[in-house]
Structure 1
Amino acid sequence: MRTVAVGDLLIPVDWMKAPFYQNNSFDVSAMQWPVTSIEELQKINLLIEQNGPNQPFSANIDQQIIAADPELLLVHFYPVSQELIKACPNLKVIGVCRGGIENVDEKTARQFNIEIVNTSGRNARAVAEFTIGMMFATLRNIGQTFVDLQSKAQWRKHPERIDSSREFPYLAFGIVGFGQIGQLVVQLLRGIGAQTIYVYEPFPPENPPTGIVFVDLQTLLSKSDVVSLHARLTEETKHLIGAKELALMKSTSYLINTARSGLIDEEALIKSLERCQLAGAALDTFDLEPLPKGHPFLALDNVVCTPHIAGSTRDAFQQTPYRWLEIYQQWLP
């Protein structure tokens, strides 16, 4: 199969090509998307997630792809627009080295009977491990006490901070979304010693694992000490957590988001944190990235913010093309 693999700064061309070296079924030509900084790549990716792939981008290599006349186009973040799809008459499969397909014009692909094969779970472990790290950072005040030491030279062991530090066996955890990441988070929590785990999942498994309780969202929010979001962002889940939902949570509870920023109404969350209606939050994704200087989240001392890095590990990126090929071969009729 005539294949074009488009690498970028996170999954370079050598990693994109590696799984195909021992497979004679693919005639692979690889191209590097010439975006020269991680910051620019993340900016483009955010624009795609918010507005789709049918918009002009710098460093466009569509013409090179079209000239190669691919039957299979394998990309990571590169936008596969309506225009590009229509210009590739022999294209049969679009492979995406990410969990979602936000960077592909799905409607046009379907119109031309082009299959889209994504890489579900490709960074599930990276995100799950990071989520647990965010829980520790908030529950044990790791983030804020480090900031106190680094920028303020303050050795803070205030009673209120000690009182708010909690241990996992004594807390109730609420997991919103029970896909691959949510399931891994549950496994890790149980390994650490968490005793009470609630899960909200609109389509729960027929044979749920023991030791967890499936509940509706309102029950989960009202009973959990730590709420962690792992749902996909769709029209139905946009602002899944808004002012009404935040009001259901305990004043001593924490909200963790390593999924998509759109799951939360940020304005409502900021107000809740400012009024101490929640104990704190840990956030890896934001409506506006990078966070501008002076953003309200950065002024709050009950928030841990990280720059959208939950799924970014060398292992996740390097193994993703292998994972994609495995999924593709299982998918073949």
Structure 2
Amino acid sequence: MKSLRSMLFEHWLTIAPIVKARLVDSLIEKLKHKDPKIRREAALSLGKMEEKDPRAVEPLIAALKDNNWGVREAAAWALGEMKDHRAIIPLIEILKDESGYVRERAIKALWKIFKTGDSCVKDTCVVESLIEVLGEENPKVRKFAVLILGRVKNPRVVEPLIEVLLKDKIWYIRKIAARELGKIRDSRAIEPLIKALKDKNKSVREEAARALRRMPAELLIAPLKDEDPEIRKRTAWMLGRIRDPRAAEALIEALLKDKDQYVRGMAAEALGKIKAPCAIKPLIEALKDKSRYVCWRAAEALKRIDDPRVTELIEALKDKDPEIHMSVRIFGLGRIKSNKSRTYKPYR
């Protein structure tokens, strides 16, 4: 025979859906109560329910037009918890609400919905409305607008995100813009991200470098072939800042073949920052460069690489090549400390 407890449990399983449905009906009805406090509590309760009832979505959308801002805020929060795509357009509409609290709650709710997938973000009107929000005074609203736009598979969002990256007054919003531009991987963002490498905030600079590393290598390396030596030099500088090992071969070519001494010097510096083992021999070769500036940059790069093979190669070559010998003496390469405990393969 079944115990009383098991019988009661089975009975509860039978009536629970009915109780829940009646509770939802009661809360929906309270959304129309004359007391705004009760309307607000009803909206919050619908959002807090463990099993969300889709019947509550439309009444909550209607509550977004309530004459009390507290009710509108609660309804926006509840819709965010329900993550129902039917709420997107209504939530977009109240991003222009007179209450800053409501606008903030609405954008947070939209972010919760958009995190479930980006198919709903492709509507042109939605995208344009979110772009407008980037001018909002509240930094929290701008922050979530940037996050949402970062998920949009639409080239329209690139320019607005670039503007945020370069002009927003709040550093963490600039940082988020840099990260989202890195995910989008649009070539238009490369130049602004290079500018952001000089941002006054360290976190923004680091995020810009990460974003550039996510860009296709061919887009980053291509300017090393530009006719303007200033562009080639700045490109080499940028590749050193982001420490992208994919650029090592192109930088080696610039180090050994570029006609401009400052481009060669900047390529040497970049190779030192990247610390690519394949750059050791070319950097030693650059110690014979006719430009003292390039020799100095190459020497500093070799010091930075800090690899036992650097010492071995220099020792092997300095007595055979007077130019290398002179660079070793002038730039103190003989003082590179080799870590003898480090295991390594002979450089070939």
TM-score, structure 1 length as denominator? 0.23
More helix by share: 2
Of structures 1 and 2, the one with the larger relative CO (CA 8 A, separation 6+) is: 1
More strand by share: 1
TM-score, structure 2 length as denominator? 0.23
Larger radius of gyration: 2
